Amino acid sequence: MRKIFLKSLVELTGHRISSNILKKFTASRLSRTMNKSFVKVYKVNIEEMEKPLQEYSSLQALFTRKLKEGSRPIDQSANAVVSPIDGVLSDFGKVSEQDTFVVKGQEYNIKAMFGKKDTEKVFQNGWFFIFYLSPTDYHRIHSPIDGLIEDQWSCGGKSYPVNDLGMKYGNKPLSTNYRLISLLTAEKGKVAIIKVGALNINSIHPTHEHATIKQGSEMGYFSFGSTVVLFIGQGDFKIEESLTSEMKINYGQKIGSF
């Protein structure tokens, strides 16, 4: 029963009222009593957490934990593009000549993804990567490149689940959910990082306030499990050949290079 209750707290429904109630509970000190169960049920690696388990004041504090320095080495290859998150690389591939890509049987249009005129042109014939963060994963988002944050904006309305069922049967959640989008420019090309809200707009928290950003630097975090979509602009990008769909991946791990 305890396991079922815990899962209901972190694998929330898409109903705004129920999700807000549950989020308030997980941020309360009362939820701290669930921390040990959370670690056990979701097999969290406590050895790499920044602080001892007993120092996290709530379930949400544990969920948004930081890692010990050096836990995620950043690939040092020349012109490398690295994963921005810990999670599962659900899918990846080329954007078609019709500016579309398919995820879990649903076709997405890159113009709808960005919700902003002309931005999609940069990523025509480029690459897409879909990263899913489960309750088990570290939930902070990091920059895949050294670059300049050229633009940042939000779009989308209500947010629905982005787990397997939501992705297969939902109303194209990647392009309809609330999204916070960062457009990065580097010497070799452009990258877009789309943080997709899983429940409501308060689940995405940006933390980087400067115009420039270093590869591996924190950009923000999710309050609950969600998805990051990464677009690489057209050009000389070469994908890492070892990548496979549904593979586990950590932030800082190389996914390709310019």
pLDDT at position 116, please? Answer: 76
Instruction: Answer yes or no: do 101 and 229 share one domain.
Output: yes
Q: 115 is written with which tokens?
A: 């919700």
Q: How many CA atoms lie within 13 A of 177 on its CB side?
A: 32
Q: 79 is written with which tokens?
A: 């012109």
Please check whether residue 4 is in contact with residue 41, taking contact to mean a CB–CB distance below 8 angstroms: no
Instruction: Answer yes or no: do 55 and 126 share one domain.
Output: no
Instruction: Answer yes or no: do 49 and 89 share one domain.
Output: no
d(CA 256, CA 128): 12
Task: Let me know if residue 96 belongs to a domain.
Answer: yes
Q: Is the pLDDT at 33 greater than 50, yes or no?
A: yes
Q: Is the pLDDT at 53 greater than 70, yes or no?
A: yes
Domain count, the chain: 2
pLDDT at position 201, please? Answer: 47
Catalytic: which of 142, 143, 175, 182? 142
Instruction: Answer yes or no: do 144 and 234 share one domain.
Output: yes
Q: Is the pLDDT at 7 greater than 70, yes or no?
A: no
Instruction: Answer yes or no: do 59 and 109 share one domain.
Output: no
Instruction: Answer yes or no: do 173 and 202 share one domain.
Output: yes
Q: Is 226 a catalytic residue?
A: yes
State which residues form the domain around 50. 2-63
Q: Is the pLDDT at 12 greater than 70, yes or no?
A: no
Q: What is the pLDDT of residues 76-133, one digit of tens each?
A: 999 999 999 999 999 999 998 888 888 888 888 898 899 876 787 889 889 999 999 9
Task: Let me know if residue 84 belongs to a domain.
Answer: yes
Task: Let me know if residue 118 belongs to a domain.
Answer: yes
| Residue 20 burial class via C-beta count within 10 angstroms: exposed 0-12, middle 13-18, buried 19 and up | middle
pLDDT at position 17, please? Answer: 53
pLDDT at position 10, please? Answer: 46
Instruction: Answer yes or no: do 186 and 132 share one domain.
Output: yes
Residues above pLDDT 70, as percent of the chain:
86
Q: What is the pLDDT of residues 201-233, one digit of tens each?
A: 457 889 998 999 999 999 999 887 789 999 998
Per-residue pLDDT band for 6 (boundaries 50, 70, 90) equals very low
Task: Let me know if residue 70 belongs to a domain.
Answer: no
Instruction: Answer yes or no: do 242 and 171 share one domain.
Output: yes
Instruction: Answer yes or no: do 118 and 240 share one domain.
Output: yes
pLDDT at position 160, please? Answer: 72
Instruction: Answer yes or no: do 140 and 44 share one domain.
Output: no
Instruction: Answer yes or no: do 103 and 195 share one domain.
Output: yes
Instruction: Answer yes or no: do 43 and 103 share one domain.
Output: no
Q: What is the pLDDT of residues 120-177, one digit of tens each?
A: 788 988 999 999 998 889 999 999 999 999 999 998 877 777 777 667 767 788 888 8
Catalytic: which of 19, 31, 223, 226? 226
Task: Let me know if residue 85 belongs to a domain.
Answer: yes
Task: Let me know if residue 68 belongs to a domain.
Answer: no
Sign of the torsion formed by the C-alpha atoms of 7, 12, 13 and 18: positive
- Show the CA angle centred on residue 233, arms to residues 204 and 125, nearest 5°: 115
Per-residue pLDDT band for 239 (boundaries 50, 70, 90) equals very high
Residue at a domain's end among 63, 94, 112: 63
Q: Is 139 a catalytic residue?
A: no
Please check whether residue 229 is in contact with residue 196, taking contact to mean a CB–CB distance below 8 angstroms: yes
Task: Annotate 71-127 with three-state secondary structure.
Answer: CCCCCCCCCEEECCCCEEEEEEEECCCCCEEEECCEEEEHHHHHCCCCHHHHHCCCE
Instruction: Identify which of 12, 55, 59, 11 has the alpha carbon closest to the alpha carbon of residue 34.
Output: 59
Please state the rounded mean pLDDT for residues 180-190.
Answer: 91
Q: Is the pLDDT at 11 greater than 70, yes or no?
A: no
pLDDT at position 169, please? Answer: 67
With tokens 């989308």, the residue in question is 156
Task: Let me know if residue 31 belongs to a domain.
Answer: yes
Task: Let me know if residue 74 belongs to a domain.
Answer: no
Q: Which residue has the higher pLDDT, 31 or 168?
A: 31
Q: Is 142 a catalytic residue?
A: yes
Per-residue pLDDT band for 16 (boundaries 50, 70, 90) equals low
Residue at a domain's end among 16, 33, 63: 63
Instruction: Identify which of 94, 215, 209, 106 has the alpha carbon closest to the alpha carbon of residue 167.
Output: 106
Catalytic: which of 19, 31, 83, 86? 86
